[in-house]
Amino acid sequence: MFYREAGDFKTSYVEDSQTFPLRLDRRAYYVLLAVAFGVVPLFINDYWANAVFVPFLIYAIAALGLNILTGYCGQVSLGTGGFMAVGAYSVYKLMTAFPDVSIVIHILLAGLITAGVGLLFGLPSLRIKGFYLAVATLAAQFFLVWLFNKVPWFYNYSASGQISAPERTVLGHAVTGPNTTAAAKYLICLTLLFALAWLARNLTRGAFGRKWMAIRDMDIAAEIIGVNPLTAKLSAFAVSSFYIGVAGALLFSVYLGAAEVGEAFGIQKSFLVLFMVIIGGLGSIFGSFAGAAFMVLLPVLLKNVLVGQLGWATDLAAHIELMIVGGLIVTFLIVEPHGLAQLWRLTKEKLRLWPFPH
Amino acid sequence: MPEQMLFATEAALNGLMAGVMYSLVALGFVLIFKASGIFNYAQGVMALFAALTLVGIQTGQIPFSHLINAIFGTDLHHFGWELPAIVAIVLTGLVMILLAVLIERIVLKHLINQEPIILFMATIGLAYFLEGFGDLMWGSDIKKLDVGLPQGINETIDRVTYDAFGYGFFIDNLDIVATVVAGLLVLTLSLFSQYTKYGRALRAVADDHQAALSVGISLRFIWILVWSIAGIVALVAGIMWGAKSGVQFSLSLIALKALPVLMLGGFTSIPGAIVGGLIIGMGEKLFEFFVGPMIGGATENWFAYVLALVFLVFRPQGLFGERIIERV
């Protein structure tokens, strides 16, 4: 009854092409932003930050990145974990080499370095497609993890082979290291996510996004109508890797604090982010958020119910979690291949007509 | 022969044997891909599941005992019998066929006409599900698989090579058995697809789904058939790998080892799977032998992928794959 475009008149092209054309949507979005930036940091504690909010924000960035590559440009990548490792090790090297420079600049630079590495591993996409490419990106995954494991320069010759983040501050508040408050962790991730999501939304609406989608839908046809596959594919790889690199840098420096490459950035990470994108919805910005939220919340929920309520052993709960995740992936692909984002879209369509559908 | 050459030859021989093991897994992929165009990521987990089931049946474990114990507070674990290896293998084979039927009924039937990449991701989901299911059913502790295969160094080869070159080659008996079994498996599969009615139907489906349907071949039956065969191949691979390194989670990672083999050999070719496996197996052992010590070792994890990647840039369809023709 309230959710409809009737009476919402557009008087300029700018208004007509905005991201949230409905007034209600727009207001909900501003309220959400206000709550996320203004209210949540006041009440957040360590448990909520570490179990739910910070991982959600970080994985949302990674999912955005993979969604640009897989959902918008149609290039399936299984190298996400490896690229996240590049981000993490770049930020570590930068943090320890230039301690006076702001951590935000380091994180963005780590993203750029990852973009360069992604570009390199994206080159084969010009020759090979589909599964072949998916398997080729596995080469990136295994090679990068091996590299960070074997070359001591990357972990500053530390005896344990681990990297750990020293304390760095933004505007006087510690954001990495043991003295970080939950609110500081949350806010730095949220700010970066907000900026990157805004960028992603506008990139995918613009010329770049249209080129990517043309390549995804049929690359030969796209080439015939004048889309250069070289620039389109490589730009998708670069932008996607930038996002994933930033996510990896945040995951290591803000969330984990210390990391060992095989454990933190193994092949499981690649699949986790891929699942987020599938469940959330391929080719949708909202889907990246929904998928990340789903995959972060599901284990927490299952753990609370199975271990906390029923008192089962943790390994048993872990097995059931695997089954549920796998079953959900299959169910989603059968029932709704476009994921949670499509369900949301359908709900909105229904709401527009509610309560008089005829 | 100089000593370096001898060591290299030994590494190459061992690589060939390891390659056979990769081929065993790759074979399962190729079978399913040819018949249904599905790239079955779950093949490795199927091998793990088969091995778990085999051990479980052989040692008389009670399925889901962990779950039952957790819910009802009981303390079940074993039926208290031991089955002969051959009976357990046959029973596990039946379980794999049942699994194939269930996968077709529950998953594949609903995904007909979807894009290949959607099917691929569905098999990733399937892999997760099966992994959790197998662990839930039989427990996730490392199990020892013993179906009476010979193990350890082959004394004859050791002695003969010692007499000939003054240095005894170390070749594992199990690898020799695996080579023989893989050879037999390939022979049986080629005879089956050349000379039996269902084998011909299989090849018809692989050539053209619609044409096969129009001459009265049941696609669904063929899919069940081919997933069953892939299940049996997974069982064989599971036995070989399980006997080699114990039945545990890492067994499912052999799927990741088989992927570059497939890329090299081509997704649609059975001989390609074998030759690709041999090249990768030998290549990674020799690379580790000659170059590994210079750059820190443990290159086996990625060498196969990089080799396949470089190769693909020059020949995108693999060694034996069908030429890819694309039209708008």
Domain for residue A183, yes or no? yes
Q: What is the pLDDT of residues A36-74, one digit of tens each?
A: 888 888 788 888 888 888 899 999 999 999 999 988 988
Report the relative pairing of strands A169-170 and A258-259 from DSSP bridges. Answer: unpaired
How close does chain B come to A314, measured CA to CA in Å? 11
Average pLDDT over residues B50-55: 88
* Dihedral sign for Cα atoms in the order B125, B130, B131, B132: positive
Tokens read off for B276: 């690709």
Lowest pLDDT segment from A10-24, A110-124, A231-245, B239-253: B239-253
Q: Do B186 and B274 form a contact (C-beta atoms < 8 A)?
A: yes
A120 assigned to some structural domain:
yes
Give the separation between CA A114 and CA B264, rounded to whole angstroms.
Answer: 28
State the pLDDT at residue A195: 93
- Parallel, antiparallel or unpaired: strands A169-170 and A173-174: antiparallel
Judging by DSSP bridges, how do beta strands A258-259 and A173-174 pair with one another? unpaired
In 3D space, the residue among B277, B288, B289 whose CA is nearest the CA of residue B5 turns out to be B289
* Residue B326 in contact with partner chain A when CB distance is under 8 A: yes
- The count of structural domains within chain A is 1
* pLDDT for position A109: 92
Query: Is residue A256 in some structural domain?
Result: yes
Any domain includes A157: yes
Strands (E), chain B: none
Q: What is the pLDDT of residues B185-225, one digit of tens each?
A: 888 887 887 788 888 888 788 777 788 888 888 888 888 88
Condensed to tens digits (0 to 9), the pLDDT of residues A201-210 reads: 999 988 999 9
Contact B136 A316 (CB under 8 A): yes
How far is the C-alpha of A247 from the C-alpha of A121, rounded, in Å? 18
User: Residue A259's beta-bridge partner residues?
Assistant: A163
Using the predicted structure, report yes or no on whether residue B1 has a pLDDT greater than 60: no
Helices (H) and strands (E) in chain B, counts: 14, 0
* Closest chain A CA to residue B40: A131
Give the span between the Cα atoms of A64 and A75, in whole angstroms: 14
A257 assigned to some structural domain: yes
Please give the Cα distance from B218 to B213 (Å, whole number): 6
Residues whose CB falls within 8 Å of the CB of residue B213, separated by 6 or more in sequence, listed in order: B219
Domain boundaries, given as residue ranges, for chain B: 26-249
Token pair in block for residue A51 = 């179990």
Distance CA(B228)–CA(B239), nearest Å, equals 16
A83/A117 Cα distance (integer angstroms): 8
Residue type for position A54: V
CB A253 within 8 A of CB A165: yes
Q: List the single residue in A128, A145, A334 with the smallest CB-CB distance to B111.
A: A334
- What pLDDT digit, counting tens, does each position of B218-268 carry? 888 888 888 898 898 888 888 888 887 777 777 777 777 778 888 787 777
Interface contact flag, B122 A278, Cβ < 8 Å? no
Place of tokens 């070359």: A151
pLDDT in tens, A92-149: 988 888 888 888 899 999 999 999 999 988 888 887 777 778 877 888 888 888 888 8
For the record, the structure tokens of B221 come out as: 């039956």
Q: What range does the domain containing A178 cover? A: 44-266
Cβ separation of A329 and B128 shorter than 8 Å?
Answer: yes
Residue A93 near residue A154, CB atoms below 8 Å: yes
Inter-chain CB proximity B120 and A143 less than 8 Å: no
Under 8 Å between Cβ of B119 and B38 = yes
pLDDT at B296: 67
Q: Which helix (H) or strand (E) holds B28?
A: helix B3-36
Task: Give residue B276's pLDDT band: very low, low, confident or very high (50, 70, 90).
Answer: confident
B contacts of A337 (beta carbons < 8 Å)? 114, 118
